[in-house]
Copies of this chain bind each other. A is one copy, B any other.
Amino acid sequence: MSNPFKPSQRLLLGPGPSEVYPTVLEQMSKPLLGHLDPEFLKLMDELKLMLQQVFETGNPLTLAMPGTGSAGMETVFVNLIEPGDKVIICVNGVFGGRMADVAERAGAEVISLQQTWGDVFAPEQIEEALKKHPDASMVALVHAETSTGAWQPLQEIADLVHRHDKLFVVDTVTSFGGVRVAVDQIGIDAAYSGTQKCLSAPPGLAPVTFGQRALNKIDQRKHKVQSWYLDLTMIRNYWGEDRFYHHTAPITMNYALHEALRILLEEGLDNSFQRHALHGKALQTGLQAMKLKLVVEEKHRLPMLTTVYVPDGIEDMAIRQSLLNRHQIEIGGGLGPFKGKAWRIGLMGYGSSRENVLRVLEALESSLLDQGFSLKQGAAAEAALQVYHAAVI
């Protein structure tokens, strides 16, 4: 360890962390402030305002928790669950499964609804569960399942959940900034995200937002929140007007998040959503032109994360190692039932660009050819370019 660490320059097109905006990296080298410095408190105020814009909410309790996306998940469940609460969790991938695990550790009786990985939940399935468990306090699901690439529609389910007077909790880790997360309009009572997906900052903070119904639940708690570190009854005083010291905020990560949100809002939410949609479409079209099969059916396919089956006769790791070592591109492997059977290609935030779509398609094509896979050279890029041409017209 006599020399400083020198990481290689990778192109991060996996399920996250994603490509980081150059000015976000620059901001991380800025001088440190104390966590109670008036300048830092002003930064926190601006962060809150910008997070509210991206969550499309007026929720006063909107802030960045001092941990990665999973800490955001845990924040929501430890604060909204009291021992013995019954909660309905929708599981159609790794992150739904993790929600169930976290909720159970928080003392909940978990009703786990299952759906095929890669599919989404239909309102009818949720309604059946709500009728069967009138004493449940919450329904939680994943907006963008990072393990499958499935895009869960929210509005009808949100309406159902509220008709039954339950809290509606949504995991927006991968969707936030890449597709619309309209918290107030949809009626999401609590949501959490991460910095390392469509915000294009390094991992290390978890944006969260809580609406009035969720706050009521917190205010009526009979037991202390089981986690001191994630206890919002204390943390909201640090982010609020009183500025009570709680923990030492990860200062530099807050600089990074500030810059990432600034760039996103400067681009404009709608422009960002359109950009993610376009490049996602181009990538997916290119992959199909290579005769590869996508996991998720078209209408529920996420733009920022595409899962594609490893074709017969091809070894998962051989391709991923070729991409990483020869092309400096990272894509993700499959999880759970998709382990060894699918790849996950992310086009998130700064990473979502025409250049990257073409680069990953060409690298994948060349790696597949090396492994003896039969395909028509250049067909993928050509198909992707047609998507771009059609979009311009």
- CB-contact partner of A50 in B1, B7, B17, B105, under 8 A: B1
- Which bucket holds chain A's interface residue count? 35 or more
List B contacts of A35 (CB < 8 A): 17, 203
Whether A228 contacts B98 by the Cβ 8 Å rule is yes
Chain A residues 208 to 267 lying within 8 A of chain B, measured CB to CB, are: 224-229, 245, 247-253, 255-256, 258-259, 261-262, 265-266
Q: How far is the CA of A70 from the CA of B224 in the complex (A)?
A: 17
Chain B residue contacts of A74, Cβ below 8 A: 227-229
Per assembly, the copies of the chain total: 2
* A39 adjacent to chain B (CB < 8 Å): yes
Residues of chain B within 8 A (CB-CB) of A330 are: 34, 37
Does any Cβ of B come within 8 Å of A68's Cβ? yes
A196 on interface, CB distance cutoff 8 Å: yes
Contact A70 B228 (CB under 8 A): yes
A313 smallest CB distance to B (angstroms): 25
> Which A residues lie at the B interface, using CB under 8 A?
1-2, 4-10, 12, 14, 16-17, 19-20, 23, 25-35, 37, 39-40, 43, 46, 49-50, 66-71, 73-74, 98, 101-102, 104-106, 194, 196, 202-204, 224-229, 245, 247-253, 255-256, 258-259, 261-262, 265-266, 324, 330, 335
Complex contacts, A250 vs chain B, CB 8 Å: 68, 202-204, 250, 253
Decide if A204 touches B204 in the complex (CB within 8 Å): yes
A158 shortest CB reach to chain B, Å: 26
- The reply to whether A324 and B37 form a contact with Cβ atoms under 8 Å apart is yes
